[in-house]
Amino acid sequence: MKKSICIFISSALFLAAGFVRGQDPQLSAGNIKEVVAAMTVEEKAKLVVGTGMRFGGGAEPEVLARTAPYLDVVSINRYTKNIEELLELFRRAHELTGKPIHHSEFSFLEKGRNGGEGGGTYPPVDSQRERGAYYRRFVSREVEVPYLIGFSWYEYTDPKPATNFGLVDRDDELYQEPVTIISEANRDVLDRFVEIIRSVHPSEMKKE
């Protein structure tokens, strides 16, 4: 039996995001139905997570509108240092689709570690400590968003030399400063999440 929790209908949805800006959308209900029809019964019983995103520009309304009826969760990969812009993107996507949002990919790279000064899709920060500080700033705001079900850092290990996505480098050595801050932030987020759940369902969660 497959152990995956989420089934990503990405082949049609991911590629579609690149074709909608500035021209007629290339994604049709038929494309999506074909992907869903190819799923097994077991797969259809899982959580279907799809994407109406662009890495740099955010979620395209046309893609969101066409894919939302087939998805349980809308996932958005977004790299930015502007938390207000990000939360507004999530708000618009949720308002358009009525679906929960997953911040499915983000990270912060030290300047000079992504092909020079960085920029474009992956805006740089000044230091390893700042990588952790930005993470804390973002997740402490995201946990307060009721329709956001989670966030996923990209990624654990630097994918190639001279990049800085990882929490460890290619020799498996920790970037200690951001890891320490990120660990503390995750504990704080978990504590806050428990507080929120208790406030909503006080009778179902006994305080230890």
Give the integer Cα–Cα distance in Å for 106 and 80: 8
Contacts of 48 (CB under 8 A, 6+ apart): 6, 7, 9, 36, 70, 71, 72, 73
pTM of the model: 0.79
Q: Which residues lie closer than 8 Å to 171 by C-beta, 6 or more apart? A: none
| Span 151-184, pLDDT tens digits | 999 999 998 887 889 999 999 999 999 999 999 9
Is 142 strand, coil or helix?
A: helix
The torsion defined by the Cα of 166, 169, 172 and 178, in degrees rounded to 10, comes to -60
Based on the number of CB atoms within 10 Å of its own CB, is 60 exposed (0-12), middle (13-18) or buried (19 or more)? Answer: buried
Domain boundaries, the chain: 1-106, 111-200
Residue of 186, 161, 185 whose CA lies nearest to 171: 161
The pLDDT value recorded for residue 168 is: 95
- pLDDT-derived band at 126 (thresholds 50, 70, 90) equals very high
Q: What is the pLDDT of residues 23-51, one digit of tens each?
A: 545 666 677 778 778 888 887 777 777 76
| 103 neighbors 78 (Cβ within 8 angstroms) | yes
Instruction: Indicate the SS3 state at residue 101.
Output: strand
Alpha carbon 166 to its chain's center = 16
